[in-house]
Amino acid sequence: MAAKHTLSEALKTIRKARGLSQEAFSDVSSRTYMSSLERDLKSPTLHKLAELCEVMEVHPLTLLTLAYAGKSQKQAEQLLAQVRRELETVAKQGNVP
């Protein structure tokens, strides 16, 4: 499944929706780094993504869902249903609690 948005667009969308400036992330990154992420010049590590999401007070999956589903609620619901099914399959096959 191709991303409808990009991670950079999703990051910027959530940051603005939360009323945060790029400077609000100064505890976890520089304004220059945030700008690079939002212009799709760099990609964050999973650890950095988690830190950025903490500042925005959203779960990293929220950011990724927006990146893949865009702003379509229907696409988001379909994507989340797919993730639920895949997690159930993995849990059954791998004896994951």
Predicted pLDDT of residue 27: 94
Task: Identify the structural domains of the chain with CATH numbers, from first to last.
Answer: 7-94 (1.10.260.40)
- pLDDT < 70: residue spans in the chain: 1-4, 95-97
Q: Strand, helix or coil at 70? A: coil
Cβ–Cβ under 8 Å, residues 53 and 60: yes
Geometric angle at alpha carbon 18, from 26 and 8, rounded to 5°:
70
* Predicted TM-score (pTM) of this structure: 0.84
Computed on alpha carbons and rounded to an integer, the radius of gyration of the chain in Å comes to 15
Nearest alpha-carbon partner for 87 in 78, 75, 96, 76: 96
Q: Is the separation of the CB atoms in 55 and 28 below 8 Å?
A: yes
* Model pLDDT for residues 53-76, shown as the tens digit of each residue: 999 999 999 999 999 998 889 999
3-state secondary structure of 35: helix
